[in-house]
């Protein structure tokens, strides 16, 4: 009968293979999907080599000993590039291939080294090898690489969180949790490598990580399944306004300069134009109730107004004193309060009315309602003495 860790080992390989097949079968794969597919391909090979080591089967195929070393250099870059492209933060195109230089260098170094070593030296049966310092240095470099890429990935996640807050009206179903799981899982693996670098403990934590991301990846919409984007989303850099080219200075008297309040310096947008866009925005909301679209983004709202998303964001910030996210959710809360006042709606539950107003989850509804009104939805209903259907 297989021991417990062997069961986990075999399960990890099969789950990785299963997820890889799902990914390569996914229609219309994005660049992020292709990166994740390549990552799983190399992860399967790496898992097989680690499991082979953990099973003490090195003597069966001694030619493979040592060739597991280049693979750990791949996981950090794949994690980083996957997050980079999934969150739309890519900038450098083909230069992203530079991230794989350490892995290629490891292969170049190992070709002559492993070729000159005997089987006994590779298996540690001939005493200390002259290449021992090289291998220790390579393992140290692997650990440094892993830690650095986890930190770089965390920085990407912070940027993505800011971008989501700027452009999305509902954030509960965005890929933040999926990215947290990936980064957290990779961080846990490197902690195990540092604390307990044995082949068996390392393989068990890697296999558990594969189970974990397989479960949450399948639950996360769009990761292992195909879903066309239904809403306009812009890259973070597109939302940032470019600096305006300075115009020739106009000579004015000191009184005029002191009395003028300069607004929208970076975008070049005048206060008059901002007021026009704001009025058009209010009219659009009153007529079309765009906030009821639970997937509404800044880009969606900018299109019918015929303005750049960055300009619209700045107008909302200036005229409403709120971010796009807060502005839309205030409108949803106000619409919810209006629905509560209508007797014909008292047959519905609070959550049903919340969904009607554009919220997409109970958590998001409760959080935003309390943030805006300082009361929970149920407390507000009691305070207003409104009779409403119980349940969700």
Indicate the DSSP class of residue 316.
I
What domains can you pick out in the chain, each with its CATH number?
4-219 (1.20.1070), 236-383 (1.10.10.60)
Report d(CA 193, CA 171) in Å as an integer: 34
Is residue 95 a contact partner of residue 73, using CB atoms and an 8 Å limit? no
Is residue 57 a contact partner of residue 203, using CB atoms and an 8 Å limit? no
pTM over 0.85: no
Is residue 159 a contact partner of residue 89, using CB atoms and an 8 Å limit? yes
Indicate the DSSP class of residue 240.
S
Is residue 46 a contact partner of residue 72, using CB atoms and an 8 Å limit? yes
Report d(CA 40, CA 32) in Å as an integer: 12
- Crossing angle of helices 132-167 and 72-86, rounded to 10°: 10
Report d(CA 203, CA 5) in Å as an integer: 9
Per-residue confidence (pLDDT) for residue 334, from 0 to 100: 94
- From first to last of its 392 residues, the chain has per-residue pLDDT tens of 445 566 777 777 788 888 888 888 888 788 888 998 999 899 888 888 877 776 666 667 777 888 888 999 999 999 999 999 888 787 777 889 999 999 999 999 999 988 888 777 776 666 666 778 888 899 899 999 999 999 999 999 888 887 777 777 777 666 677 888 889 989 988 888 888 767 667 777 777 788 887 777 766 656 666 554 445 555 554 455 444 433 433 334 434 433 334 444 455 678 899 999 999 999 999 999 999 998 888 888 999 999 988 889 889 989 999 888 899 999 999 999 999 888 888 888 888 999 999 998 888 899 999 999 999 988 998 888 877 765 55
Per-residue confidence (pLDDT) for residue 144, from 0 to 100: 93
CA dihedral 212→216→218→223, nearest 10 degrees, is -110
Q: What token pair was written down for 303? A: 């299109």
Is residue 240 a contact partner of residue 310, using CB atoms and an 8 Å limit? yes
Report d(CA 54, CA 2) in Å as an integer: 13
Per-residue confidence (pLDDT) for residue 285, from 0 to 100: 93
Residue 222: closest CA among 175, 177, 176: 175
Distances (CA, A) of 144 to 22, 50, 103, 148, 193: 32, 20, 13, 6, 11
Residue 58: closest CA among 124, 153, 12: 124
Residue 194: closest CA among 255, 243, 146: 146
Q: Which residues pair with 349 in a beta bridge?
A: 389
Per-residue confidence (pLDDT) for residue 257, from 0 to 100: 35
Per-residue confidence (pLDDT) for residue 335, from 0 to 100: 94
Per DSSP, the three-state class of 26 is coil
């Amino acid at each position: 009968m297989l021991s417990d860790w062997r069961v986990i080992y075999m399960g990890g390989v099969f789950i990785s293979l299963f997820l890889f097949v799902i990914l390569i079968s996914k229609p219309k794969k994005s660049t992020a999907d292709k990166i994740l597919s390549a990552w799983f391909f190399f992860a399967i090979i790496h898992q097989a080599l680690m499991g082979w080591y953990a099973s003490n089967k090195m003597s069966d195929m001694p030619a493979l000993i040592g060739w597991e070393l280049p693979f750990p250099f791949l996981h950090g870059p794949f994690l980083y590039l996957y997050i980079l492209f999934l969150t739309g933060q890519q900038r450098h195109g083909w230069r992203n291939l530079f991230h794989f230089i350490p892995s290629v260098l490891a292969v170049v170094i190992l070709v002559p080294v492993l070729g000159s070593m005997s089987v006994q030296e590779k298996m540690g049966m001939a005493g200390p090898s002259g290449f021992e310092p090289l291998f220790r240095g390579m393992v140290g470099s692997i650990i440094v690489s892993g830690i650095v890429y986890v930190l770089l990935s965390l920085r990407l996640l912070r940027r993505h969180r800011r971008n989501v807050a700027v452009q999305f009206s509902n954030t509960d179903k965005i890929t933040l949790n999926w990215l947290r799981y990936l980064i957290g899982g990779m961080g846990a693996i490197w902690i195990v490598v540092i604390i307990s670098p044995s082949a068996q403990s390392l393989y068990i934590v890697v296999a558990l990580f594969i189970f974990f991301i397989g479960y949450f990846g399948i639950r996360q919409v769009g990761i292992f399944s195909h879903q066309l984007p239904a809403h306009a989303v812009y890259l973070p850099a597109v939302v940032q306004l470019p600096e305006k080219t300075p115009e020739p200075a106009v000579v004015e008297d000191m009184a005029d300069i002191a009395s003028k309040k300069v607004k929208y310096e970076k975008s070049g947008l005048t206060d008059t134009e901002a007021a026009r866009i704001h009025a058009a925005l209010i009219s659009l909301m009153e007529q079309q109730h765009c906030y009821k679209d639970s997937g509404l983004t800044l880009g969606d709202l900018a299109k019918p107004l015929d303005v750049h998303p960055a300009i619209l964001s700045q107008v909302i910030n200036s005229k409403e004193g709120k971010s796009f996210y807060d502005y839309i959710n205030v409108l949803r809360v106000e619409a919810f309060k209006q629905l509560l006042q209508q007797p014909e709606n008292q047959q519905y539950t609070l959550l049903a009315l919340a969904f009607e107003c554009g919220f997409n989850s109970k958590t998001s509804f409760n959080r935003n309602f309390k943030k805006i009104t300082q009361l929970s939805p149920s407390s507000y209903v009691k305070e207003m003495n409104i009779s409403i259907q119980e349940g969700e």
